[in-house]
Amino acid sequence: MSDAPRFELFAFWRTSATYRVRVAMNLKGLAAAETQVNLIEGQQHDPAFLKLNPMAAIPALLDHAAGAPGTALTQSLAILEFLEEVAPAPALLPSDPYARARVRSLSLLLAADTHPFITPRVRKRLAQMPGFDDAAWKDWQTHWITTGLQGLERRLAEPGTGRFCHGDTPGMADICLASIIVVMRVFKIEVAGIPTVERIMAACEALPAFAQADPMRQAGAPG
């Protein structure tokens, strides 16, 4: 047990929110033992997992250094903030409070105001509506991803943007940006008019921390 990694991440290869945690841990040089929770097979509803996260969702993270906390850490942005506090370097947030707020706001624009709309639980609810089919789902996904990324593009015209969303080092907002792009690719959705977003995504993908977290490179991904 003493040789086990400090962190245990409950994960599934293709989820956007799990990708965020993987990138953050990679950037900070933290290792996690991954336990796969196969969402297609419904493993998130197993009683043992529900004890860790009653919301039946991933990512979920255990920090064994925190003792036996009983429940796992959940919600990707809360996990990123946690990692930032227990392993501050390299930082995912700038040091100035106003700049930190900008990065958090850009992150929430994607993680709170964009990504939730395109999750399976929303598709399930929409499918109850008359005539809702695969084409309607693709239109819905496209609408929200386009709204989110074009909104981000406008905000990246603000002062503060550099090689990455804020300054010249990758941080929380870049992780959220990339987490939307990787999902967009899985769904084969295209968005026009986002040159700054695309430039930053290319800068992210040039870094091993991002490249190694790519959904298609994870355990369980289709070959």
Closer to a copy of itself by CB, 29 or 88: give it. Answer: 88
User: What's the min distance (Å) between Cβ of 215 and a copy of itself?
Assistant: 21
Closer to a copy of itself by CB, 63 or 205: give it. Answer: 63
Closer to a copy of itself by CB, 98 or 168: give it. Answer: 98
User: What's the min distance (Å) between Cβ of 92 and a copy of itself?
Assistant: 13
User: What's the min distance (Å) between Cβ of 106 and a copy of itself?
Assistant: 8
Question: How far is Cα 209 from Cα 131, in angstroms, rounded to an integer?
Answer: 42
Helix, strand, coil tally for the chain in percent (to 5): 50, 10, 40
Measured N-to-C along each axis, helices 76-86 and 16-28 cross at an angle, to the nearest 10 degrees, of 10
Q: Are 137 and 131 in contact (CB under 8 A)?
A: no
User: What's the min distance (Å) between Cβ of 103 and a copy of itself?
Assistant: 8
Question: How far is Cα 156 from Cα 159, in angstroms, rounded to an integer?
Answer: 8
User: What's the min distance (Å) between Cβ of 95 and a copy of itself?
Assistant: 10
Distances (CA, A) of 41 to 12, 35, 36, 104, 116: 11, 14, 11, 34, 21
Question: How far is Cα 165 from Cα 181, in angstroms, rounded to an integer?
Answer: 14
Q: Is residue 114 classed exposed, middle or buried when 0-12, 13-18 and 19+ CB atoms within 10 A define those classes? A: buried
Closer to a copy of itself by CB, 94 or 215: give it. Answer: 94
List contacts with a copy of itself (CB under 8 A).
54-55, 63, 66, 69-71, 73-75, 77-79, 81-82, 85-86, 97-98, 100-102, 104-105, 107-109, 111-113, 116-117, 121-122, 125, 129-132, 136, 140, 143, 147, 151, 154-155, 157-159
Closer to a copy of itself by CB, 130 or 222: give it. Answer: 130
